[in-house]
Structure 1
């Protein structure tokens, strides 16, 4: 639980570029910030700002 809380705080402190790079390395986003094919349905859940 403590690890999850620490990781959440780290994620909140990330810049947009760092967040995209992190999700890209996990295979969730492309380098341009678009969802990869297996995660395309998540795009519907993300609130566009």
Structure 2
């Protein structure tokens, strides 16, 4: 049973595709997304004190 699972894992690892973008692109995209959410949060910082 274990040999079958190991063989299946090895075949899956051989046929795995590479990332569509370099890893740096994912990091920059995450940084930009989090920065955008920070700016949206910052834009609504004084809404509660107006009323």
Give TM-score scaled by structure 2 length: 0.32
Structure index of larger Rg? 2
Higher relative contact order (CA 8 A, sep 6+): 1
Give TM-score scaled by structure 1 length: 0.33
Structure ranking higher in helix proportion: 2
